[in-house]
A and B are shown apart, each in its own frame.
Chain A
Amino acid sequence: MDFPLLAVLAATLTIATPLVWAALGALINERAGILNLGIEGTMYAGAFVGFLTAVTTGNPYLGLGTAVVAGLAAGALMGLLTVTLGVNQHVAGIGTTLLLVAACDFTNRLLFATGTQQAAASFERWFPGLGVLAQYPMTFVAFLVLAPLLWWVLRSTGFGLRLHAVGENPEAADAAGIPVARTRYAALMLGSALMAVGGSFLTLSLLGTFTLDIVSGRGWICIALVIFGRWKVWPVVAGALLFGFTDALQLQLAITPLFSGVPNELLIAFPYLVVIAALAVWGRRVRYPGAYLTPYRRA
């Protein structure tokens, strides 16, 4: 049997794209000391708002833009809760996710109650027919621009040092004259914007439409990927690719006659099992950022 390896690799990149966007967003948040469990809802909001704009205006770029705005707003909300008010980050994040998912579903029902599937103007693949390279624009941006740029920013700019400092030792950052609250807000808003772009990839690129539960746990996977990647850009990208590959593999196997006897549910669970196994092996004994989960207040 000849196995369509190239097709699986192409699908790997596509599936990994929203994960790279959202996980790198989560990485920025966590570097600043904030676990953003609002990620699932933020991706959902990015997916829905982007779709809504694209349907209304017929322009996917405008959809992308409004998704970014939605992400910035979601990040500002998380900032208000965790930075300004000092609310427990787990509670704030889960609350944000519940709020955003419910708000999107509610609006969706108000607008499209008839149940007819709306198709939005969506991004086209670049380089069609070029095999692995036939990908959506946001895929190229994620791997060729976002990841290297973020890696450079974290390593070689004052902003990167500031993020590291407020997430590791906010007292030291404060003593160095770094505005801790403002830096955390910036991290939350920037990171959440990336999450929303990741979510919008599902509607504006992959499916061209919005369905309920479209994010389906990808946000939670990203939280795991950031721990797996130990808050470093390239290991996180590698983790996203690993998940993408196992997911592409199970999709391929599901349509391979040889595996027709295997229950479909088991195949769908496969990538998640791989993530759990990977975390169990490499996710132990990780060193969390020093100020993880801790609001900062001057003594």
Chain B
Amino acid sequence: MGPLAELRGITKTFGAVVANDSIDLRVLPGEVLALLGENGAGKSTLTRILYGLSQADSGSILVDGSEIRMHGPADAMAAGIGMVTQEFSLVDTMTVTENLMLAGSGLGRVNRSAAKAKVLEAAARIGVAIEPDAVVGTLSVGERQRVEIVKALFHDCRLLILDEPTAVLVPQDVAVLFESIRRLTADGMGVIFISHKLHEVVEIADRVSILRRGRIVADVPAEGLVPAQIAAMMVGSADPVAEAASGDVVEAEALATAVGLEAPGAGVAAGAGVGAGAVAGAGAGAAAGAGLPAGELSRSGVLDIDRITLAGTGKPLLDEVSLTVRAGEIVGVAGVSGNGQTELVSVLCGMTPASSGAVRVDGADITRLDVTERLRAGLGRLTEDRRGSVVLNLSVEQNLVLEDLDRFRTGPFTNRRRIKEHVAGLMERFDIRAKPGDPIRSLSGGNMQKVLLARAISREPKALVASQPTRGLDVGACEYVYSQLRALRERGAGVLVISEDLDELLGLCDRIVVMVSGRIAGDVRAAETSREELGLLMTGMTAGAGAHS
């Protein structure tokens, strides 16, 4: 059987960076090809080229053996290639049917009832229920993803590219997605599956292709592979260039743990907080316990959230949220996005006043304080929106001292010399790879996060609120963030981590609470829980019933 689609010698450069270096890739009918690689390895570039969103410098794309000229997504769709990206390409203000009619409907009259019937038919084909007249903005993330898949099928797609489809899903939705993928491949469709979660790759993929620095470094059947082997291929053990590029000189073992694996040879998790997580709850527990010597655990709460309520239109956005983070403890907040996590962070950081309730840092009530006074009271924060937490046009140096200019003041003027010394110290200690005068907008996400970490941690906060601290960072940078958060814990601070990545929470936290509809729906020790239990809690099915009463 010939390949469904084939890439030959695809090369794409951005300035001096070779994103794709003569890549050959083929997808057979009925197979799931997992395309793996660290952030920046070239996966996104490659899929964008295959979907016509970007043009290769050289190389060719063949579908069913004949070459296709790609000028835009329309050509890809016509050739039977569909893509579901991490950011959905849906118009929120339109209905499901309208969104699906967008492509290929021409300019004239559209046939709504026929389109509706086609939506239902495609939904049945992947085994899910979809309401054709629902406005997309009202759907859950899992439902939107199903709409995206149906959209691809709508245009007789035979090769479906799924770019990190599970990153935004609760485990229950992942199961539905995998069932849909199996139905499609049984129909003879080809699927390119991109994911960072290796246990998912092992579960669904038929073949694994690994990209590193723009090249395919492995293309092997998935049969019999275990996650550790894949991780080793991804980071490419003794490869100095890859290590330098990842931002930190980290052992391949540590990188493997950071992507959610227990490295063969063990011992990593017991060290000074190097182990970053594990696939199974048991492994995660070992890592978390290691950072918590039994006798040193202080019982006093450094961050005390006391029945915080935030009124919304209709039902409250936060409903009597109570939570204590003790000194020397990392507490995670899990939950499907949009269940009050953003609002909680906003209330804690002083951006939104709570309707009722109190927040205390180390015993002092900060509920009515503004942002500056909160920082002074010992609250540190690492917000979700990295680029919104810095002033993009200011330099690294200026951003580093932005929050405590008062400390560097002589009368009405800033003291340049003291700022320079302070900044030089921070840049060395936090390994920020830039010059102090560089505009911060020129920094990579990982480096920018280091600046923010440096700014927050240099104030020695008693409690740190870290929202999505590793979103969009590559493996090396993630590991760096974890090590800094753990070091802060060792020094006796309390850390609250809000994240959508369950593996991250399981690996990093001592305790995990789950938020559902603005309430705390569960509070479990990380060592004693599992992805499955958290997933169930996140849907509000078990503890949720109790919270309602």
Do A and B come from the same complex?
Answer: yes
Which residues on A are within 8 Å of B, measured CB to CB?
Answer: 156-159, 161-162, 164-165, 168-169, 171-179, 290, 298-299
Mask of B46-87 contacts with A, CB within 8 angstroms, 1/0? 000000011000000000000000001110010000010101
CB contact under 8 A between A157 and B110, given known A172-B91, A177-B104, A178-B103: yes
Contact across chains for A158 and B90 when beta carbons are under 8 A apart: no
Cα A165 to Cα B104 in complex, Å, equals 13
Within 8 A of A (CB), among B274-289: none
Shortest distance in angstroms between A287's beta carbon and chain B's nearest beta carbon? 8
Contact across chains for A161 and B74 when beta carbons are under 8 A apart: no
Contact across chains for B109 and A177 when beta carbons are under 8 A apart: no
Name B93's closest neighbour in chain A (CB-CB). Answer: A168
Q: Is B503 an interface residue (CB 8 A)?
A: no
A158: chain B residues at CB < 8 Å are: 101, 105-110
Contact across chains for A156 and B93 when beta carbons are under 8 A apart: no
Q: List 29 A-B contacts (CB under 8 A).
A: A156-B109, A156-B110, A156-B112, A157-B109, A157-B110, A158-B106, A158-B107, A159-B108, A161-B110, A162-B102, A162-B107, A164-B93, A165-B102, A168-B92, A168-B93, A169-B91, A172-B88, A172-B90, A173-B91, A175-B53, A175-B73, A175-B83, A175-B85, A176-B73, A176-B89, A178-B102, A290-B91, A290-B92, A298-B53
Name A178's closest neighbour in chain B (CB-CB). Answer: B102
CB contact under 8 A between A157 and B53, given known A164-B93, A178-B102, A290-B93: no
Contact across chains for A165 and B94 when beta carbons are under 8 A apart: yes
CB contact under 8 A between A177 and B98, given known A156-B109, A169-B91, A290-B93: no
A175: chain B residues at CB < 8 Å are: 53, 73, 83, 85, 89
Shortest distance in angstroms between A160's beta carbon and chain B's nearest beta carbon? 8
Contact across chains for A174 and B73 when beta carbons are under 8 A apart: yes
Cα A299 to Cα B91 in complex, Å, equals 18
B94: chain A residues at CB < 8 Å are: 161, 164-165, 168
Shortest distance in angstroms between A174's beta carbon and chain B's nearest beta carbon? 7
Contact across chains for A161 and B93 when beta carbons are under 8 A apart: no
Cα A172 to Cα B77 in complex, Å, equals 14
Name B151's closest neighbour in chain A (CB-CB). Answer: A176
Within 8 A of A (CB), among B456-479: none
The residue from B93, B102, B107, B108 contacting A173, defined by CB atoms under 8 A apart: B102
Shortest distance in angstroms between B253's beta carbon and chain A's nearest beta carbon? 35
CB contact under 8 A between A177 and B77, given known A161-B102, A165-B91, A172-B89: yes
13 A-B pairs besides A158-B105, A176-B89 with CB distance below 8 A are: A157-B108, A157-B109, A161-B94, A161-B102, A162-B107, A164-B94, A165-B91, A169-B90, A171-B89, A174-B73, A176-B102, A176-B103, A177-B77
Cα A182 to Cα B361 in complex, Å, equals 56
Cα A82 to Cα B298 in complex, Å, equals 60
B108: chain A residues at CB < 8 Å are: 157-159
Cα A156 to Cα B97 in complex, Å, equals 12
Contact across chains for A177 and B103 when beta carbons are under 8 A apart: yes
B98: chain A residues at CB < 8 Å are: 161, 164
Cα A169 to Cα B90 in complex, Å, equals 8
Shortest distance in angstroms between B163's beta carbon and chain A's nearest beta carbon? 12
B92: chain A residues at CB < 8 Å are: 168-169, 290
Shortest distance in angstroms between B203's beta carbon and chain A's nearest beta carbon? 28
B105: chain A residues at CB < 8 Å are: 158, 161
Nearest 7 CB-CB pairs, A to B? Answer: A177-B74, A175-B89, A176-B103, A158-B105, A172-B89, A176-B102, A159-B107
Cα A169 to Cα B94 in complex, Å, equals 11
Cα A235 to Cα B243 in complex, Å, equals 61
Cα A168 to Cα B90 in complex, Å, equals 10
A298: chain B residues at CB < 8 Å are: 53-54
Cα A298 to Cα B54 in complex, Å, equals 9
B85: chain A residues at CB < 8 Å are: 175
Cα A95 to Cα B248 in complex, Å, equals 51
Cα A261 to Cα B91 in complex, Å, equals 55
Cα A165 to Cα B103 in complex, Å, equals 10
Cα A161 to Cα B110 in complex, Å, equals 9
Contact across chains for B107 and A168 when beta carbons are under 8 A apart: no
Name B98's closest neighbour in chain A (CB-CB). Answer: A161
B72: chain A residues at CB < 8 Å are: 174, 177, 179
Shortest distance in angstroms between B313's beta carbon and chain A's nearest beta carbon? 11
A176: chain B residues at CB < 8 Å are: 73, 89, 102-103
Within 8 A of A (CB), among B107-133: 107-110, 112
A178: chain B residues at CB < 8 Å are: 102-103
Cα A284 to Cα B30 in complex, Å, equals 53
Cα A248 to Cα B418 in complex, Å, equals 70
